[in-house]
Structure 1
Amino acid sequence: SQAAAGVGGVIKMVMAMREGVLPKTLHADEPSTQVDWSEGDIRLLTEATDWPETEQPRRAGVSSFGISGTNAHAILEQAPEAEEAEESESEAGVVDGPVAWVVSGRSAAGLRAQAGRLREFVAERPGLSAADVAFSLATSRSVFEHRGVVTGAGREELLGRLGALAGDEVVSGVARGVADVRGRSVFVFPGQGAQWVGMAVGLLDSSPVFADAVAECEVALSAYVDWSLTDVLRGAQGAPDFDRVDVVQPVLFAVMVSLARLWRSVGVVPDAVMGHSQGEIAAACVAGALSLEDAAKVVALRSRAIAGGLAGRGGMVSVGLPVEQVKERIAAWDGAISVAAVNGPGSVVVSGDPGALDEMVAELEGEEVRVRRVPVDYASHSAHVESIREELLKVLADIAPRSSQVPFYSTVSGELVDTAALDAD
């Protein structure tokens, strides 16, 4: 009751503001004789009174007098009128892109049963939005050890894949696994493509921990680059932009390492790390496998080699098909296209020769398969990188990783790696 003292008055006043009515003063039929009511402009409301609209928002004071003597006073102000949301003209089962429905259970059987119940529930309610179902499942359900997720771009596709999850079938767009629910943290470091103009500027200005980490990264990178990390982040006049691979990759590395430092400063310590592509360099640094100086050298010289030896010779494309189907399709180009990354059950990135990629994109678009070009002009994670292998082996020969202090998982094998065994290859 002490903590809740005054809440009733706040609720009552919010309702009065919303309805535009000043409620009658309760339990005051006879005004106190201890107050000189003739002084000032204060009076009791013997009846409910309209609260007129003016050019200013309504305001009111609410006092709270706790039973133990705690006194508080709050001033409330009428909230601005909310803009009415435009009604969506799309059908309930249609969404702009893929959505994920997540399901969990105490056991494998419980997971299958839950998927079946969810399928029946949604199937019986055709008006449910696929996106709304996804939001509710992700935010309002308990999370258990056995987990499954189905992805799809529409109601029927999602229902079909729920049926596959319930039937323990292995199909595209369905993933399942067993997780630890003790709330452990994993830091995941992305590759190139996560950048945007102005990123990290707010943290540079507001977080001393982040700013100090960026400054350390700038010093570590300065031996290998002829530009200022801070100038690039702030978009200073004359600073290079993110169009250059030998700029964007070191900048992303610095931002990721600095973000990890910031998280640690507030008590969020990773129980494991992993990284994709050049994100593995930041992951190795944060895990303690590489010193900041060695990691800066790797990312700077690697990106310089890509810029000098690969840029302008290739490309990359995201394909909305399972990896086995992608492998079958690209076989027609006889090694000119390679699988670069498997991002999900139905999302694969390929890389290779520009002409071959153009032909593949035209073919898949003709079949209405989702394809999207990655905005790079080189072919990472393909046979193209063999042309810079010897250069990297030479310039990185003196770097010797050590065993990490934080478990390091490989995105190539999916397994825990002893980072002391890592090398330039």
Structure 2
Amino acid sequence: KSNIGHLEGAAGIAGLVKTVLSLSHGQPPPTRNFDEPNPDIDLVRLRLSPQTRREPWPSDTPLAGVSSIGMGGTNCHLVLGPPPPQPSEKAEPTVAEGELDPVPWVLSARSAAALRAQAASLHTFVSARPGLRAEDVGLSLATTRTVFEHRAVILASGGSGARELESVPPSAAPGGDRDQTGPVLVFPGQGGQWAGMARDLLDGSGPLAQVFTKRLLEERALDPYVDWSLVQVLGEPGALPFTGSAARVDVVQPALWAVMVSLAGVWSELGVEPAAVIGHSQGEIAAACVAGALSLEDAALVVALRSQALTALAGTGSMASLGLPQARAEEYLAGAEDLYLAAINGPDSVVVSGGTEAVRRAVEHCLDNGVHGALVDVDYASLSAHVERIHEVLLERLAGIRPRAPRTPFFSTLLGGHLGDTPMDAEYWYRNL
């Protein structure tokens, strides 16, 4: 605005161009025509400062916001960052001795039959060219092909990847297997709860609310293990808190489980069946129940008795979400005590767990360096060495469960892939913690 004034219908364009240029040059430019700030704006309290001189960005990974509001109603808000660093020169690929990491080959087609035919065609192609690198084939498949509805991923290892393709049926006969598609149900871990969760469904009178209440009352599998009423906890404000420091893990986790399983039951009664399920942390218990890997009674036992065992750890640790890639997080952890890498949520997102003071210092370290850092709303250090204290207790309390083969495909966040033949026994639920 200080350069060219209002752009009205084009609001935001000039700010976008200016910000991209400043990121490209590594220096935010000073604001033109600025002398003194408005005395009515408390810049110190708001933690704001006008850009008055040319200087480097204060972080290796700067973020810039572009916010413009045009008089004609054109509103623009963008958050920009630098592109990923590029190598200074193209390095020749090198092959280390020993077994190579598998390379994902992604396939897609209009139908299941076409997908299998594509896999057979690819098998013929790579078998005739033994010198092909699996990485080159994977890059071409991922970046040069149209993505269709039916998809598959083959993990190519040991050279060309032809061996992995041999297990794929070459084609489907006319009138053969019917294409199967459907939603994937994702079950969150602790932290997905909020005050008033499910209250509208319990108080409502519509078809969805009626089915939800019916399923919730039918599925009272928690009753033998808890001394509180699930309907009261969900339906009465202030009965037992879900959030904040007063929230009890032995209430939050079973209540979350019951709501998730009941909602899945609602969708089932309405004709929605999942093609697969996946769960994060304690959400895996609900996912296992919906997939049939645990009976309703066994799943209730696991979530209730495991969360009760966790109360022994209450107040002894913390967890935090950090905006760091795995490698940088591990570098920091190498110099920290009582701090563990709990989860890798994305290319630049991890969760750390450990002693309260160690976790607090990790969050401060990230914030001081312009990186996201935030505490998770728990008072114990899950997914860390802290839970070893309740290992034997959990194995004893969960020894009676009888895991089964899931009737719905189950993808395990603990294993990082399809569950396969891994039993979801007491040891699995300890490792999940």
Q: TM-score, normalised by structure 1?
A: 0.58
Query: What's the CA shift for 1:342?
Result: 1.4
Who wins on radius of gyration, i.e. which is larger? 1
Query: What's the CA shift for 1:108?
Result: 5.5
Structure 1 residues 296 and 93: CA distance shift in structure 2, 3 A: closer
1:399 to 398, 401, 414: 401
In the other structure, the counterpart of 2:157 is: none
Given that 2:354 and 2:381 are in contact with CA atoms closer than 8 Å, whether structure 1 keeps it comes out as yes
Q: Which structure shows the bigger proportion of residues in strand conformation?
A: 1
In the other structure, the counterpart of 1:370 is: 372
1:317 to 312, 315, 320: 320
Structure 1 residues 396 and 113: CA distance shift in structure 2, 3 A: closer
Given that 1:401 and 1:419 are in contact with CA atoms closer than 8 Å, whether structure 2 keeps it comes out as no
In the other structure, the counterpart of 2:125 is: none
2:190 to 166, 189, 192: 192
Per-residue CA distance 1:77-129 (angstroms, 9 max, x = gap): xxxxxxx9965464x5649xxxxxxxx997964753599xxxxxxxxxxxxxx
Given that 1:403 and 1:420 are in contact with CA atoms closer than 8 Å, whether structure 2 keeps it comes out as no
Per-residue CA distance 1:254-276 (angstroms, 9 max, x = gap): 01001111111222111211111
Aligned-partner Cα distance in 1 for 2:426–2:190: 19
Structure 1 residues 328 and 111: CA distance shift in structure 2, 3 A: same
Given that 1:322 and 1:346 are in contact with CA atoms closer than 8 Å, whether structure 2 keeps it comes out as yes
Identity, in percent, stands at: 48
Structure 1 residues 236 and 228: CA distance shift in structure 2, 3 A: farther
Aligned 1:250-329 pairs, distance under 5 A: 250-307=254-311, 309-329=312-332
SS at match of 2:251: helix
Query: What's the CA shift for 1:209?
Result: 2.2
Given that 2:341 and 2:384 are in contact with CA atoms closer than 8 Å, whether structure 1 keeps it comes out as yes
In the other structure, the counterpart of 1:231 is: 232
Per-residue CA distance 1:128-157 (angstroms, 9 max, x = gap): xxxxxxxxxxxxxx866689xxxxxxxxxx
Given that 1:401 and 1:420 are in contact with CA atoms closer than 8 Å, whether structure 2 keeps it comes out as no
Aligned-partner Cα distance in 1 for 2:145–2:419: 35
Query: What's the CA shift for 1:192?
Result: 0.4
Q: TM-score, normalised by structure 2?
A: 0.57
Query: What's the CA shift for 1:295?
Result: 0.7
Aligned 1:51-200 pairs, distance under 5 A: 87-88=74-75, 90=77, 92=78, 94=80, 109=140, 112=143, 183-200=181-198
Aligned-partner Cα distance in 2 for 1:262–1:412: 27
Structure 1 residues 354 and 211: CA distance shift in structure 2, 3 A: same
Mean Cα displacement is larger for which, 193-202 or 235-244?
235-244
Structure 1 residues 412 and 85: CA distance shift in structure 2, 3 A: farther
Aligned-partner Cα distance in 1 for 2:346–2:143: 21
Given that 1:285 and 1:292 are in contact with CA atoms closer than 8 Å, whether structure 2 keeps it comes out as yes
Task: State the one-letter code of the partner of 1:330.
Answer: L
SS at match of 2:196: coil
Given that 2:225 and 2:301 are in contact with CA atoms closer than 8 Å, whether structure 1 keeps it comes out as yes
Query: What's the CA shift for 1:354?
Result: 0.9
Structure 1 residues 398 and 113: CA distance shift in structure 2, 3 A: closer
Aligned 1:351-362 pairs, distance under 5 A: 351-362=353-364
Aligned-partner Cα distance in 2 for 1:380–1:112: 38
Task: State the one-letter code of the partner of 1:346.
Answer: D
Structure 1 residues 352 and 266: CA distance shift in structure 2, 3 A: same
Per-residue CA distance 1:166-186 (angstroms, 9 max, x = gap): xxxxxxxxxxxxxxx974321
Aligned-partner Cα distance in 2 for 1:326–1:278: 24
Given that 2:250 and 2:307 are in contact with CA atoms closer than 8 Å, whether structure 1 keeps it comes out as yes
Structure 1 residues 89 and 405: CA distance shift in structure 2, 3 A: closer
Given that 1:284 and 1:290 are in contact with CA atoms closer than 8 Å, whether structure 2 keeps it comes out as yes
Is 1:222 paired with 2:261? Answer: no
Aligned-partner Cα distance in 1 for 2:241–2:350: 31
Aligned-partner Cα distance in 2 for 1:212–1:269: 19
SS at match of 1:421: coil
Aligned-partner Cα distance in 1 for 2:260–2:356: 31
In the other structure, the counterpart of 2:346 is: 344
Given that 1:284 and 1:404 are in contact with CA atoms closer than 8 Å, whether structure 2 keeps it comes out as yes
Aligned-partner Cα distance in 2 for 1:210–1:419: 33
Aligned-partner Cα distance in 2 for 1:226–1:233: 15
Query: What's the CA shift for 1:224?
Result: 1.0
- List alignment gaps of at least 5 residues for structure 1: 1-83, 96-103, 116-141, 148-180
Mean Cα displacement is larger for which, 408-417 or 392-401?
408-417
Given that 2:196 and 2:237 are in contact with CA atoms closer than 8 Å, whether structure 1 keeps it comes out as no
Structure 1 residues 424 and 105: CA distance shift in structure 2, 3 A: closer
Task: State the one-letter code of the partner of 2:278.
Answer: M
SS at match of 2:185: strand
- List alignment gaps of at least 5 residues for structure 2: 1-70, 82-106, 110-137, 153-178, 428-433
Query: What's the CA shift for 1:203?
Result: 2.3
